[in-house]
Copies of this chain bind each other. A is one copy, B any other.
Amino acid sequence: MELQPGGRRARTGAGQAGAGQAGVRQAGAPLARVTLQDVADQAGVSLSTASRVVNEGSRRVGPHLADRVTKAVADLGYMANLQARAVATGQSTMMGVIVHDIADPYFSSIAAGLIEVSHAGGLLAIVSSTAAGGAGELEYVSLMRAQRARSVVLVGSRSADTAATAALRAEVGAFTRDGGRAVCVGQDLLGIDTILPGNAEGARALAGALVALGHREFAVLAGPDGLVTAVDRVAGFEAGLAAWSVSLSPRRVIHGAFTRDGGYQAMSAILAAGGTRPDCVFAVNDVMAVGALARLRADGLAVPGDIAVAGFDDITTLRDIYPPLTTVRLPLKQMGEMAASLVLQEADQPRVIPVPGEVILRDSTLPRPGRG
Q: Which A residues have a C-beta under 8 Å from some C-beta of B?
A: 1, 3, 19-23, 25, 31, 33, 77, 79-84, 86-87, 90, 92, 101-105, 108-109, 111-112, 115-116, 119, 124-129, 138, 142-143, 145-148, 163, 166-167, 169-171, 173-174, 176-179, 260, 287, 290-291, 293-294, 297, 315-323, 333
Residues on B with C-beta less than 8 A from A86 are: 83
Q: List 8 A-B contacts (CB under 8 A).
A: A3-B179, A20-B167, A81-B146, A102-B108, A103-B105, A108-B108, A115-B129, A260-B319
- Given A81-B148, A125-B126, list of 17 further CB < 8 A pairs? A20-B171, A22-B167, A31-B177, A31-B178, A79-B142, A79-B145, A81-B146, A82-B146, A82-B147, A83-B83, A83-B92, A103-B108, A105-B108, A112-B129, A125-B127, A127-B127, A293-B320
| Number of copies of this protein chain within its complex | 2
Residues on B with C-beta less than 8 A from A163 are: 22
Give CA–CA (A129, B135) in the complex, Å: 27
Residues on B with C-beta less than 8 A from A320 are: 260, 290-291, 293-294, 321
Residues on B with C-beta less than 8 A from A108 are: 102-105, 108
Tell me if B102 and A111 are in contact (CB < 8 A).
Answer: yes
Give CA–CA (A99, B101) in the complex, Å: 16
